[in-house]
Structure 1
Amino acid sequence: MYIPSHLEVTELDQQVELIREYPLGTMFSYNGGKSRLLDYFKSGKEDDAIDSEMCATHVPFCYVAGNSGTGPGKLIAHLARRNQHVELLEQSPNCLVVFQSVDSYVSPEYYPLKKKTHKFVPTWDFGCVHVYGRARIIRDDPAWLLEMLNAITDQEEEKRPDEANRWKVSEAEPSYLERMMKEVVGIEIEISSMQCKMKFQQDQPPVNVNGVLDGYSKELDAAKAQELSKFTRKHYPRDL
């Protein structure tokens, strides 16, 4: 990933924080032995088996820390048993998972200095984490699947404000849960490396950054504006 040095975040805790706040990752993998994708680019005709070469799946993950608590750790999730990505990962386990934070278009009109110089163009602010690793597909292991489902469910239910009404996997009717689990396989990604980019106005003077935050508060819904403000203030290198 292209990351200018002033936008790079190397601290593991900050990388993991984004993953846990925005756990819906896009998992990519590639099987170099296939040529369906190349054929598509050459002919413009989509083949039903195009995913047999390059595949992407959108799936919520749970991050599991390494044994030492400081290593890169693992990602766990589940996929539909019929998902063609399962077979591709068994053939070529190397993969990339991309997580992205809240994001927004930034208009030059937000910048107070624009009126003086007119030397500004639109941009887009966002944060992302790229996770590289090797996937292991876990089939027919109910104990592992149940542990994974509990971890992901608890991760998300704990974000709900009404603690008394947080759902637990144990509330599902046992035979129904058993049937559902037979339709999925587990996936465990041993992380080899992680990259993180936080692009939130770090190269702008404070007057312009405050203008952006003001623009967010006026034009976006309150929750999104608040989340963008949180990221911007956290990663801006000076006081605002």
Structure 2
Amino acid sequence: MSYPPRAFRETREDVLLEAVAKIGLASLVVVRDGVPEAVSLPMIATHDEEALVLEGHVALANPLWRLAENGTVALAIFQGPHAYVHPGWYPTKREHGKVVPTWNYVVVQAQGRLSVTRDPDWLSAHLTRLTQGKEAGQAEPWSMDDAPADFIAGLQRGIVGLILHVTRLVGVWKIAQHHPEPNRRGVIAGLAASDVPGDRAMAAVMGQAERNRAG
């Protein structure tokens, strides 16, 4: 991420990892023969010998893992809530008109080097971590033990584990921090009244930031 304005930049690892866990799905970008390629996959953050890593997996038929065998550099992008901001939500529009539309968003990017594994124990532990994290809120959480062991083993043979050894983790929370409070409150109200789920999600992010600022 070459241009995160300082006002929007987020570098606190706990905040970034909380966002990674909540978003879950990453766009993993690699370069093959000079051409960038991306694959969407769920990834989870763990620590391997106290170093931060992101775990994921792809189908055995996906050629991307062959690149990772050679230790290719990769970029994982976690796109959080985002929303179009209507200028009419700013009270300052009525005062001087010096406002324009913009886009608010939350994004986390992790850079590092990829490695692969087909170790059955690693894959089993990875899939358990992945599903437990998302099943926790269910009334009857699904677990790996709910399916026949030979069925799960067969599926595991068809995937390859990916490990991104993170060397840089950075985020951008562009949520109108540079605007005066009345403008921020106006945007929150406008987004919260929207029928678009992403708008309401951004309103929640901004609302939490206001509470943090006040408290």
Matches for 1:49-68 after TM superposition, within 5 Å: 53-65=35-47, 67-68=49-50
CA distance in 2, matches of 1:208, 1:220: 21
Matched, 1:105 2:84: yes
Select the residue among 165, 180, 187 that pairs with 1:212.
187
Q: Is the 8 A contact 1:202 1:235 kept in 2?
A: no
Select the residue among 188, 193, 196 that pairs with 2:168.
193
Q: What's the CA shift for 1:238?
A: 4.5
CA distance in 2, matches of 1:202, 1:65: 32
Report SS of the residue matched to 1:202: coil
Aligned to 1:183: 158
Matched, 1:150 2:128: yes
Report SS of the residue matched to 2:45: strand
- For the aligned residues, what is the CA RMSD? 2.0
Report SS of the residue matched to 2:178: coil
Q: Is the 8 A contact 2:10 2:172 kept in 1?
A: yes
CA distance in 2, matches of 1:66, 1:215: 43
Q: What's the CA shift for 1:88?
A: 2.2
Aligned to 2:60: 81
Q: TM-score, normalised by structure 2?
A: 0.91
How many pairs align? 213
Report SS of the residue matched to 1:220: coil
Larger strand fraction of residues: 2
Report SS of the residue matched to 1:215: helix
Q: What's the CA shift for 1:233?
A: 3.3
Report SS of the residue matched to 1:133: strand
Report SS of the residue matched to 1:207: helix
Deviation string 1:189-210 (CA, Å, 9 cap, x unpaired) is 1111111111001011111111
Q: TM-score, normalised by structure 1?
A: 0.82
Matches for 1:7-156 after TM superposition, within 5 Å: 7-31=8-32, 34=33, 53-65=35-47, 67-68=49-50, 73-139=52-118, 141-156=119-134
Report SS of the residue matched to 1:219: coil
Report SS of the residue matched to 2:193: helix
CA distance in 2, matches of 1:149, 1:3: 33
Select the residue among 186, 206, 210 that pairs with 1:232.
206
CA distance in 2, matches of 1:148, 1:185: 11
Change in Cα spacing, 1:150 to 1:89, as seen in structure 2 (3 Å) is: same
Deviation string 1:88-128 (CA, Å, 9 cap, x unpaired) is 22235210101111111111011122122121111111111
Q: Is the 8 A contact 2:71 2:115 kept in 1?
A: no
Change in Cα spacing, 1:235 to 1:65, as seen in structure 2 (3 Å) is: farther
Percent of aligned pairs with the same residue?
Answer: 24
